[in-house]
Every structure is written in structure tokens, then in C-alpha cells.
Amino acid sequence: MSAALLIDLILWGSVAAVGFIAFQRGPKVLKASLREGSMDFINIVPRIALGVIGSGYIAAVIPQQIITGWLGPNSGWFGVLAAVVAGAATPGGPVVGFSIGAVALKAGGGPPQVLAYVIAWALFAFQRLLLWEIPFMPARFVWFRAAVSIPFPFLAAAIAMAIGKP
Amino acid sequence: MQASDAAEGEPRPGRIRKPVGWSMITIGVLVAVSATLVWRRDGIGGVLDILTHDVTLFGGILPRVLAGCLLGAFIAEILPHEKVSRSLGPNSGLKGLLIGAAFGAILPGGPFTAYPVASALLTVGADFGATIAMVVSWTLIGYGRAVAWELPIMGTDFTLWRIAISLPLPVLAGALGRFVYVRMYPKDAVE
């Protein structure tokens, strides 16, 4: 709870700091930024409402056993590929990917495969791309960024296999 | 310096926003199907349980979303275009990617901060490469999600190794992004 409070303090502190700089540039700049920021907010709230309130249902029906079964210790590069696909298909949000990863580790999943799963989920969970990235950023950038990110879960798994960690 | 600052003082024209896109429709359909499946499996109680939990979560997130939007808007207004282009633009080299990655790693908050700020950076002259380094670094190295969620759920050992292995990835992703970008959009790169 205190960590969340600290993050909120840093966040609003940063807003106040840049807001003050904008204020020093003149009331016109301050007003324009406030208007832009509020319009972004109003525009984004319905999408976030749908995503946050809806992702609980998506998480509830996702077949966790199937995903964890894909990440077995002897699954090799096929397992890594399956992990990357599963990571992309897992709903966004802060918890779901880690929970499934933890279950997979406990159920005897291979660490490089679980690593690839967690990193793929962090980099390009499809639902997060649609829900969080597209509303905030230019669509061309979002798809470009996701496409460029595809090799990196594989690279991470290769590093993990080479060094024998985690 | 003075001249560029004065030019930056002019407010930027507002962006055009699409009210409802296909991405929202896709998510809406997914949510409706999933909610129906939950209702058939767990009954109305199961549906309401998830709804209560998620509405609470949503209420907690809302003020942060506002903070993120304001942060992005202020940054887009006050950052000097020329300086950003120089340190994070297409010709900023490895240094630009490193600055982007470092910025992503220290940025406070969640997606509600990272994405508006990334969008603001693109607006004021950062290129795709440096912005990719920033977003990937925020995702993989940023402390927010790791401390709040990953450490307790995945354990210290896994989390620390995961972060150590991820350290080179933001700069590599940014470099790959730049490499592909100048070949995909040769016209944009000539500035």
C-alpha cells in the first residue's frame, strides 16, 4: 500500500513540476496543455473502463492448465515458441501473466520457457496493445513497436539457456 | 535558444481523436463473450464478484490516468522540439537509445503514464527507435511493475534474473526499430 502511495506521490509531483514549467511559459501554454490533457483523459476513460472492468472476465475464462502445459521443461524451442504465442494471447493488466508464469514454474515448467512467456506477455500482450497502447499512441507506432519486439523473448530464452539461469 | 523557446510557446493544435475504433469493438466482443461464459459457469454471483472487483480497480486507476494524460500533455508543450530531436531523434545514435532506455526505466507510474509520455516524445521529435527503447525499457526494466507485482508473485530469484537478462533488450529493440524504420519509410528518415 505504501509503495502505491509513493508511486502516486512521484506521479503527481512530476505533474506539478511540469505543470509549473508550463505555467512559467505563460497562461496560454498552461491552458492549452490542460485542455489537451483533459481531452485525452475524457477520450480514454471509456476504453479503460471497458478494458479494466472487462479483463477480469477474460482472465476468468482463459484455460490456464493448457498454457502451463505448453511450457514443460523438455519442450525446448517449440516450448519457447508456444510460450511466446501464449504470452501474446494472455490478457494484459499487471497480474495475469505473472500468475500464470508462477503456476507454470510450480507445475514444473522450464525456466527459459516461462521467461519467454513473461517477456512476450510484457512486450506484446495483444489485449494491452488494443486497450492501452492504441488509444494513447499513434497506431503505426504501436504495431511497429510490437513487430520489432517479436525476436526478444526468443533472445531472452536463448540467453537463459546459455547461462543456465534462472 | 531564445527563438526556439518562443516558438515552443505557441500552443500546438489539438489532435484529432477517434471516438470508437475497431480496437474497442474487438475488446467489447471479447469481454461480452467471456462474461457470458462466466455467467454460464458460475451464475450471476460469479459475474457480480468479478464486476465488483474490477470496478474497484478501475476507481483506483482513474486518478492516475488523469495524471498520466496531464503529464503527457505538459511534456508535449514544454519540451523544446530542437533539443529532443537532437538527443532522441533519428540521428541521435546509440546515445539516443540509451537516453530513451534510461528514461523508460525511471519513469514513475503504469501504462497510464508511459504511453502518453511516449506519445508526447514522438510529437516533439523523438524517433521510433528511441521511443521503442523507452517503452520496452519501461515494460521490462521499469521498477513499478517488478516491485509491486512480479517480486511477490514470481519470487526474487526469477525476477532478478529476468531483469538482468532483459537489460540489453531495450537498446537492441530500439536499434532494430531504427534499422527497420529507415528501410520501411525511407522518405520520413530524410530530414
B113 touches chain A (CB under 8 A): yes
Query: Sorting pLDDT into bands at 50, 70 and 90, what band is A96?
Result: confident
How many other C-beta atoms can be found within 10 angstroms of the C-beta atom of residue B24?
19
CB-based contact B9 A29, cutoff 8 Å:
yes
Residue B124, pLDDT score: 92
The helix (H) or strand (E) run that includes residue A137 is none
On the question of pLDDT at B10 being above 70, the answer is no
Query: Under a CB-based contact definition with an 8 Å cutoff, are residues A11 and B71 in contact?
Result: yes
Of A49, A54, A136, the CB nearest to B119: A136
CB-based contact B58 A159, cutoff 8 Å:
no
Question: How many contacts (CB atoms, under 8 Å) link A and B?
Answer: 257
| Among A4-18, B101-115, B118-132, the range of highest mean pLDDT | B118-132
Query: Sorting pLDDT into bands at 50, 70 and 90, what band is B6?
Result: very low
Closest to A123 measured CA to CA, from B12, B118, B169: B169
> What is the grid cell recorded at A132?
492501452
Of A43, A155, A163, the CB nearest to B17: A43
On the question of pLDDT at B84 being above 50, the answer is yes
With beta carbons under 8 A apart, name residues in chain B contacting A115.
Answer: 158, 161-162, 165
In percent, how much of chain B has pLDDT > 90? 50
With beta carbons under 8 A apart, name residues in chain A contacting B34.
Answer: 54, 57-58, 60-61
Query: Sorting pLDDT into bands at 50, 70 and 90, what band is B152?
Result: confident
Query: Sorting pLDDT into bands at 50, 70 and 90, what band is B181?
Result: very high
Query: Under a CB-based contact definition with an 8 Å cutoff, are residues B108 and A52 in contact?
Result: no
Interface probe for B, chosen from A1, A7, A20 (most Cβ of B below 10 Å), is: A7
| Among A31-40, B3-12, B52-61, the range of highest mean pLDDT | A31-40
**Beta carbons within 8 Å of A97's beta carbon, 6+ residues apart:** A87, A90, A117, A118, A121, A122, A125
What mean pLDDT is predicted for residues A61-78?
82
Q: What's the complex ipTM?
A: 0.86
Query: Sorting pLDDT into bands at 50, 70 and 90, what band is B2?
Result: very low
d(CA B16, CA B109): 26
- For A25-63, where are the alpha helices, taking DSSP H only? 27-61
Average of per-residue pLDDT values in chain B: 84
- Which of the two residues, B144 and B88, has the higher pLDDT score? B88
d(CA B65, CA B52): 20
With beta carbons under 8 A apart, name residues in chain A contacting B50.
Answer: 56-57, 60
CB-based contact B70 A33, cutoff 8 Å:
yes
This prediction's pTM: 0.83
CB-based contact A152 B64, cutoff 8 Å:
no
What mean pLDDT is predicted for residues B140-151?
82
Reduced to 3 states (helix: H, G, I; strand: E, B; else coil), residue A75 is coil
CB-based contact A60 B139, cutoff 8 Å:
no
On the question of pLDDT at B11 being above 80, the answer is no
With beta carbons under 8 A apart, name residues in chain A contacting B113.
Answer: 11
**Beta carbons within 8 Å of B52's beta carbon, 6+ residues apart:** none
Residue B8, pLDDT score: 38
With beta carbons under 8 A apart, name residues in chain A contacting B41.
Answer: 61
d(CA A166, CA A161): 9
The pLDDT tens digits of the residues spanning B22-53 come to 777 888 888 899 999 999 999 999 999 989 98
Q: Tell me the CB-side half-sphere exposure of residue A7, using CA atoms within 13 A.
A: 25
Residue A145, pLDDT score: 97
Residue B150, pLDDT score: 87
Q: Where are the domains of chain A?
A: 1-61, 62-166
With beta carbons under 8 A apart, name residues in chain B contacting A19.
Answer: 70, 74
Query: Sorting pLDDT into bands at 50, 70 and 90, what band is B7?
Result: very low
On the question of pLDDT at A75 being above 60, the answer is yes
Interface probe for B, chosen from A24, A35, A40 (most Cβ of B below 10 Å), is: A40
What mean pLDDT is predicted for residues A107-132?
91
Q: Is the dihedral of CA B33, B39, B40, B46 positive or negative?
A: positive
On the question of pLDDT at B9 being above 70, the answer is no
